[in-house]
Structure 1
């Protein structure tokens, strides 16, 4: 291994496939004899189905079947939980009874010979309900706020409340972040086909082995009888981590009609049953000395959940370790609502929690007349004070130094409303970003071929960050091959199992497994060479040999050595090796492992009409080893754009009468487009972390979004002098009286 492929900005190996339209997404896998299914969604927010006028619909042109709770197959729904499923509660048992638990719940499926016929029939179906008033708003007095049963809801060290109350300077404010929906380009889609008791699903999924296990549990099958295929994903951001009811319904419909069935959700339906970032209400109270040392921190947060499951996220987790403070108290509660279960959305928990914390820190900096970066420097911890152990690496201050220099922070006049560009108010703000350096057990397979190339397989996904490319680089690095000599394949449960493609742990987990498989393949190749009487290393011991640049030789030998082709030439048989990786439990026990970053934002505000534009964003990150800087920057800029949406645009509004999302379409659910995208820069500090995993990498997918919204909100305050504590920030929030 001396190719130094890791660290090179290689372009995407799958790029040509995508831009030429050859990449096949879930809905592209049409099957012979395929039918089309369309969901019918409940039009009440709570109650039960009392009547279904089915006869007329069943006689409509092209209709093959109408499936409701009255004629649907009764499903096993055996117990199944994965790391991304709520630990408490039970998933929706779709079409198994007449209950309606939330607006938009699937209550029927129409199957027809064409999409047009299925859509017409679904629109014509008349269903009556015994409706009750749902509770869909945090502010409703009837809302039950409960401590989650799973995980730690409350943590405390010292006496935070007393410390805040007695502090020389304090901040005590409330923050409100709207519900968001994921809205990736590719809608959720599943094509289902049965062959006896064996089911194949071509399905959009960020967690193939979980979709396999979940559907097997729902239908009472062995997992070996379910295959899930998903080679490409057109964006997801967490929405495809869980296996949602439409996957079950596609398989149910295919079983019902005895033919393959395609089911694709429309944009409106994706606001109902495929998760969302939960609305959160938070309170942050800070106490500090006149010179800026934190004496007390209180962070209380409430997130929404459904009544039938308890969805939890890390809303207050960052506060426990981000800054040095002897007195810290965090509290997390769930508001039980008559809505569908929320889901992980890029930076789940951390993105929401850090908005409140970093807004409060910015407020404190103004009260103390201390530069926001300097305030953070004065509260930089030496260890993780929540866990009482050192960080495996922590480059936060280096991120601030690098980012501030690139951004030109010294040009900022600290006085609010002091900077202008003509008639526009200009503001500069900054905020910290952080995310855990997660790792999960993973597996991979490497196959060395007689022609000297290699095939690598893992049941991973790629929703856009460049998994095909980065994993190719890892394999090429450790096999000593050129990237074009490696073919990496993912996207089917027939490959070795991997964790979800979410949580910023794909490279750490799958990459480490590929490394292990490569080393095992080389070990097997060396043993084969040793056993070959015609080999120049015949009879040598393994300890006497080494692989360098993809060639095997005796240690200290200057000869060209043996290539993989040389080793395999005599037998012609490939070498196949499996590898697995998991975090060293000793390292996990000894160190606190996180990525850190600093985000800088410049905004302009038209004080006459209140319009806000983000003009520049600079992010500097400490993420350990960077496998591909080109892909890494792309990850960061994508996360930043998501942060712009969170800060200024994205908001799902529910009708309090029935829980209907009133803006469940792309006209009124606002997201950043090209004209909203500012100048974006992503920088990386040189950070070496040998403790997190064998590759020394940390996750990157979430962290760039995490710090962006508070940096923008802090810049808006600097521009206008108005502190906005709700997201998204709207025109009316900044208009002066």
Structure 2
């Protein structure tokens, strides 16, 4: 017996990597069928008002144009008399496309042109002439703060935190205080793969839907709900996703358009959005937040107030956990938190990588840095002093918290002790060098998930769950879990996902998939082990007859006796000797709720950043980042490091590059393309070092996994902004920190 089948914790290559680099991996827009036609969406040209007339005659006169769908000819959809199902929908009146002449936001889809070729559909779309009656619109958050109101309704994952202590009194009495307001504009997802749906139509009226989504069950449920179809009529597939970051959590409008056209025309239809239309799907909400922090001279926090106002649409209340982190991250007895919304004439904001935390922790960690300077204290030391062993809001200890180790290891690797604390003190030529740091925090969530496993007589294992892989490595880590649990060579294991016919899995988001689906996969494989032992006991003269599963181990494709490893049997032989073709199980893991309820479950990080600022030009370069992550058990250090690096790059991008320019005259994001909505390129990203701090946690789930998708981005923008202050002595509280703000 050897360790050849020990896979969990090993930095393994992606099992889907070959398919991706060779082009074998098919994405939503890559599917074709005989007679496939193409749809192009026409977007509204005003931000608020009504459509007076849509003239489609010029488009319909073109040979090969099949139909132009508008609110004038779309009716009879089932969503008026059936419940609307969307796993990620916020409370409110969910938007229904092509159902009214009203325009609620700029770039609202108002027509779909379908033609025999994509080029023809695109040209015909330019011939659709729309007349509008525009109403006054409002798209400015800061211009409407007087209209801020509490959120309406409830949304899973959000609960307004309770205040504690007496903030006003404690803050007034605190000898050292820091108060500041921070602003963050809209930030857009912009994955490389744009949203697309290909619908294959069959003569019996059934459809196969290839959709860009973070949850095929959500896609299937939406289509059934809107169009009144049974589950047997709708097959939903999404085996590969070219990035999503939250944009695929809700069904996007190309799904509705493609299914509508396929059912009406009884043809297979493909609809892919343009890059410009990708800016109409939702975004990280525009937010203004004010923090007030009071401390005594030794740095002990006495009072924290965190007030935030975010924009939402006129028809839904999208909420985030923005202020909650201030009541959780540090020890403080007097905390006041408030969160309000302003309804704007935009589409509803949408979950984006680490929703709420990226925004709220930016404000908190910049305010902590400002307080550290007022105290004349090392920003790292201030955080150490106020380290909390429990979630102050819930009054619960953490299931595990390796944050102090994150501080120590990252600071040592970065060389933080060599920092001259004075702003503008580290200079080479005209380059000002700045060092900044911040803490990160995210939830360690688990969500419902099931998995099925089939072990066949040829020694092969197939495991499946209706989850997604949006580039995070889900295919790979699930294969690792299954292979190790059943003790099989990894090449003998296949993991299936992205198919609505597979067992239930929630949306892939929130860093919950590895923990949730991983636990289901592990349990399914453990059940296979039990079944194999049961079969082995039926073999004549079986030496395993009196043994329990605890007395056995599985490795190298064999079942071993732990006390006497020389006694073993090949798993394939068990199947052959018992004349068994396959062993099938479906698992539904149930968390230990009573144990978990006693603890707060979170991931943590410490981010250290070096920037170089050109004093004459105002240009900022992030030259070094060291990030230490405490996220429980790391299933695959290679894919996990990739996740953290991606989060760090996006944190840098949000801090320095990603600026949405809203033209309030037209109520539209005017830089809705890759040319003017800036994101970093390779030359903008320099040394990044990721440290995984060892953390054992038997509370979060049987695997001890917390997830790493989100935590990599949290705190990065604050660390960059804090480093810029250290370099320049100028505090920029408005993201992104562009050169015009520095100059």
Of 602, 607, 610, the match for 2:615: 607
Aligned runs of 1:172-183 on 2, under 5 Å?
A: 172-183=179-190
Give 1:546's aligned residue.
552
Of 14, 17, 42, 2:16 maps to 14
The offset of 1:423, in angstroms, is 1.5
Structure 2 counterpart of 1:229? 237
CA distance in 1, matches of 2:170, 2:549: 61
Indicate conservation of the 8 Å contact 2:87/2:250, yes or no. no
After TM superposition, list the pairs within 5 Å mapping 1:164-243 onto structure 2. 164-195=171-202, 196-243=204-251
Which residue is 1:155 aligned to? 162
Q: Does 1:438 align with 2:445?
A: yes
Q: Contact 2:145 / 2:342 at 8 angstroms: preserved in 1?
A: no
What's the offset of the Cα at 1:155?
2.3
Cα offsets for 1:361-417 (capped at 9, x unmatched)? 000000001101100011011211111111001111110100001111112100000
What is residue 701 of structure 2 aligned with on the other side?
A: 693
Change (3 A) 1:58 1:519: same
Name the SS for the 1:718 alignment partner. helix
- Give 3-state SS (helix, strand or coil) of 1:157's partner: coil
2:268 to 241, 257, 260: 260
- Residue 520 of structure 1 pairs with residue 527 of structure 2: yes
Name 1:30's counterpart in structure 2: 32
Aligned equivalent of 2:116: 113
- 1:93 corresponds to 2:96: yes
SS of equivalent residue, structure 1 residue 275: coil
Q: What secondary structure, in the 3-state scheme, does the structure 1 residue paired with 2:621 have?
A: strand
Rounded Cα–Cα distance in structure 2 between residues aligned with 1:555 and 1:428: 53
Distance change >3 Å, CA 529–CA 291, structure 1 → 2: same
**Which residue of structure 1 aligns with residue 662 of structure 2?**
654
**Residue number in structure 1 paired with 2:319:** 312
TM-score (norm 1): 0.97
Partner residue of 2:136 out of 92, 116, 133: 133
Note if contact 2:196-2:273 (Cα within 8 Å) is conserved in structure 1. Answer: yes
Question: Does structure 2 conserve the Cα–Cα contact (< 8 Å) formed by 1:147 and 1:153?
Answer: no
Distance 1:507 1:523, change over 3 A: same
Distance 1:82 1:563 in 2: 46
| Structure 1 Cα separation of the partners of residues 594 and 265 of structure 2 | 53
- The 5 Å alignment of 1:579-590 reads 579-590=587-598
Structure 1 residues 131 and 532: alpha-carbon distance in aligned structure 2, compared to 1, 3 A threshold: same
1:212 Cα offset (Å)? 1.2
Name 1:397's counterpart in structure 2: 404
Residue 543 of structure 1 and its aligned partner are, at CA, apart by 5.5
**1:145: Cα distance to partner?**
1.6
Contact between 1:46 and 1:658, CA under 8 Å: does it hold in 2? no
Q: Deviations over 1:246-283 (max 9, x none)?
A: 211110011111100000001000101x2211111000
Deviation string, structure 1 residues 316-354 (Cα, Å, up to 9, x no partner): 121111000000011011111111011011111000000
- Partner SS for 2:678: coil
Q: Check conservation: 1:440, 1:583, Cα contact below 8 A.
A: no
- Distance across 2 between alignment mates of 1:291 and 1:158: 21
Distance 1:368 1:576 in 2: 63
Separation in 1, partners of 2:448, 2:604: 23
SS in 2 for 1:162: helix
Offset at 1:581? 2.2
Within the candidate set 145, 148, 153, 1:145 is matched to 148
**Alignment check: 8 A CA contact 2:87 2:218 kept:** no
Q: Hey, what does 2:64 align to over in structure 1? A: 62
Over 3 Å counting, the alpha-carbon distance change for 1:193 and 1:605 in structure 2 is same
Paired residues of 1:73 and 1:256 also in contact (CA < 8 A):
no
- Structure 1 CA distance for aligned equivalents of residues 148 and 159 of structure 2: 15
Match of 1:79 in 2: 83
Contact 1:238 1:343 survives alignment (8 Å): yes
Aligned to 1:502: 509
Whole-angstrom distance in 1 between the partners of 2:541 and 2:254: 59
Mapped to 1, the partners of 2:680 and 2:398 lie a distance apart of 35
SS in 1 for 2:450: strand
Map 1:275-286; keep pairs closer than 5 Å. Answer: 275-286=282-293
Deviation for aligned residue 1:698: 0.6
How far 1:152 moved relative to its partner?
Answer: 3.2
What residue number does 1:683 align with? 691
Secondary structure of the residue that 1:108 maps to in structure 2? strand
| Alpha-carbon distance, 1:142 to partner | 8.0
Tell me which of 472, 478, 495 is aligned to 1:471: 478
In the other structure, the counterpart of 2:338 is 331
Write the distance in 1 (CA, Å) between the matches of 2:533 and 2:617: 72
Mapped partners of 1:166, 1:229: distance in 2 = 60
Change (3 A) 1:664 1:58: same
Equivalent residue number for residue 714 of structure 1: 722
1-structure distance, mates of 2:488, 2:531: 17
In structure 2, relative to structure 1, the CA distance for the partners of 1:126 and 1:7 (3 Å cut) is same
**How far apart are residue 436 of structure 1 and its match?**
0.4
- Alignment gaps of 5+ in structure 2: none
Decide whether aligned partners of structure 1 residues 285 and 44 sit closer, same or farther in structure 2, where only a CA change above 3 A counts.
same
Question: By how many angstroms is 1:81 displaced?
Answer: 4.5
Quick check: 37-46 or 130-139, which moved more? 130-139
Q: 1:544, CA displacement in angstroms?
A: 7.7
**Separation in 2, partners of 1:207, 1:560:** 45
Residue in 2 aligned with 1:303? 310
8 Å CA contact 2:532, 2:571 repeated in 1: yes
| Number of equivalenced pairs | 732
Change in 2 beyond 3 A, CA 1:121/1:534: farther
**Distance in 2 between residues matched to 1:328 and 1:678, nearest whole Å:** 38
2:494 aligns to what? 487
Q: Output one character per residue of 1:565-603: Cα deviation in whole Å (capped at 9) or x when no partner.
A: 011113241111111224321133100000000001000
1:83, distance to aligned residue in structure 2 (A): 4.5
The equivalent of 1:592 in structure 2 is 600
- Map of 1:294 onto structure 2: 301
Aligned counterparts of 1:440 and 1:120: Cα–Cα separation in 2: 45
Unaligned runs of 5+ in 1: none
**Does 1:671 pair with 2:679?**
yes
CA separation of 1:143/1:41 partners in 2, compared to 1, >3 Å: closer, same or farther? farther
Deviation of 1:79 (Å):
2.2
Q: Assess if the C-alpha contact under 8 Å between 2:187 and 2:283 holds in 1.
A: yes
